[in-house]
Structure 1
Amino acid sequence: MMDERDNLWLSPEKHLVIECKNNEINNIDKDDIKQLGHSSQWFTNKYGNHKQPLLLLFHGQKKLEHNVQVSSLMYVVDQEKLDQLKSKLEIFRELVIQNFSNLNLDNLRQYLSQCDLLIDSFIATYMRKLK
């Protein structure tokens, strides 16, 4: 097992361990879920078991193969949600560029909120619970 994940987002309230397979065209299979399980174990080994991360899979599909078991902490950003995220990131980029000379923390937070890029709105908008 490698000692790193594709991405790790830590905030004071939430922790996301991210695996990226967004070019995958087949349904989510046992190997994908197994990789998320390894990611969960990596996080526990690195940060302890007092913090419980959400396990996020960027994947081309949202459907699970038959007999694939998932935990309540596993989510997916499928192709539809990824396209939506890309559009919002482009809007965010334009807002920052257009207002760069007046950019401050309040403006930046407003732009992040407007594009659903703050952690709670990111989870609610782009992440689907695996089931």
Structure 2
Amino acid sequence: MAELFCNGGAMRGGALHHNVSAHPFLGSVTTAPSYRFFSVRDEFPALELVDGGGVGIEGELYDVPMDQIRTDFLPEEPAELELTVVELTDGRSVLAVGLRPGLRTSMGEELTDISEHGSWRRYRGLDVPADVDAS
């Protein structure tokens, strides 16, 4: 099993939640303040590790078998994202998806920096779904 940080559609209530919903929900977590956060064409979020000026990004943590990350989770992720490792505020390193290196400059206006929001839900004006099973 691997701890997988989700910060977009795979979170509870999201269109891709089915990719992690069968696995244990470990709780809401925040990354270390080392990331910038982008909206890609206002379709999905993307994390990017930065040397300075980063913020903590809120998300959800799931315990997912590595083979299911490969077969169920990654195939539905956008081509602009890749599997990476992020640091949480408690110092743990966990799997996540992040913006592919080099795309920040080549995507131009397709990326909107939403770091000041600190979460995809906050940026989109969405509440944490109260009626969604957290497990």
Q: Where on the TM-score scale, by shorter chain, does this alignment land: which range?
A: under 0.3
Structure having the higher Rg: 1
More relative contact order in 1 or in 2 (CA 8 Å, sep 6+)?
A: 2
The structure with the largest strand share of the pair is 2
Normalised TM-score (structure 1): 0.22
